[in-house]
Amino acid sequence: MSGRQRKVVCITELRQACRTCSLQELCLPMGLAAEDIQRLESIVGHKGPLERGRHLFREGDPFQSIYAVRDGALKTYSIDADGREHVLGFHLPGELLGLDAIYPRVNRCSAVALSNASVCVLPYDRLSDLAHEVSGLQSQIFRLLSKDLSISANLATDHTAEERLAGFLISIAARSGAGTELKLVMPRRDIASYLRLATETVSRLLARFQQEGYVEVHRKNLQLLNVEGLRRLGGSFELTGLASAIRRPLRG
């Protein structure tokens, strides 16, 4: 099969309408009328697959769109004046990125795929016009902006390393919908940067959590053995407000 044929197949696979997308409840306001979903579909584009390590956008790029993750995972990061990378967030299916660029009209960070990924592309100017006409769409955008601000504020608060890592694991489990069995596509150094910890601290704490029966770790695969214990250990370091959404596997 030629490269061009493979590209056509990939694009065809990505053209799934909003109304049949499994992420609809995460991206769209509840109860959106069918005709309004159709209007939204008319402005939504798709991009992908993005191979691991490929950038969706870079810091300083002109702001044109916000993005909803369809598959895979991305991270956002910035580079300081000394050339050090600072991880700002991890973005999983159903989550938006690019919201922080609305005000300055340039991207304030870079976004790169942590695994093969695809995204929905929502041109902001067209989305903004539509939000004035579709009831609930504007409030959904505000809600997602508020969520990002809340997470950023919590990261800036004073919490111990144990609280940060335990809260992070609970957050990822709830957001990914994978129950208690996780695959951490982000390397330990990225987790450490995001939590404002040293990489050695994250590795040491994961080993300790395993010794104490909170988790079982096999390289990037991690199983939460004691969700309630992790929740207590995380204390008030809550990144999503979704900790109760973790599904436990059924035991036969």
Domain boundary (113, 140, 155) is at 155
pLDDT at 160: 92
pLDDT at 6: 38
- 74: in domain: yes
Would you list the DSSP string of 190-230? Answer: HHHHHHT--HHHHHHHHHHHHHTTSEEEETTEEEES-HHHH
**Do residues 75 and 87 touch, judged by C-beta distance below 8 A?**
yes
Residues 134 and 221 placed together within one structural domain of the fold: no
pLDDT at 8: 37
Residues 149 and 169 placed together within one structural domain of the fold: no
How many whole angstroms separate alpha carbon 102 and alpha carbon 144?
13
pLDDT at 35: 81
Sequence-separated (6 or more) residues with CB below 8 Å from residue 46 = 11, 14, 15, 70, 118, 119, 120, 121
pLDDT at 155: 66
Considering the entire predicted model, what is its pTM?
0.81
The rounded average pLDDT for each run of 10 residues, N- to C-terminus, in the chain (252 residues) is 39 54 67 78 88 96 93 96 94 89 93 95 90 79 73 72 93 85 94 96 97 94 94 78 50 40
State the Rg of the chain over Cα.
Answer: 19
Residues 102 and 149 placed together within one structural domain of the fold: yes
Residues 195 and 142 placed together within one structural domain of the fold: no
Residues 24 and 117 placed together within one structural domain of the fold: yes
Residues 8 and 101 placed together within one structural domain of the fold: yes
Residues 116 and 202 placed together within one structural domain of the fold: no
pLDDT at 25: 63
- 251: in domain: no
- 252: in domain: no
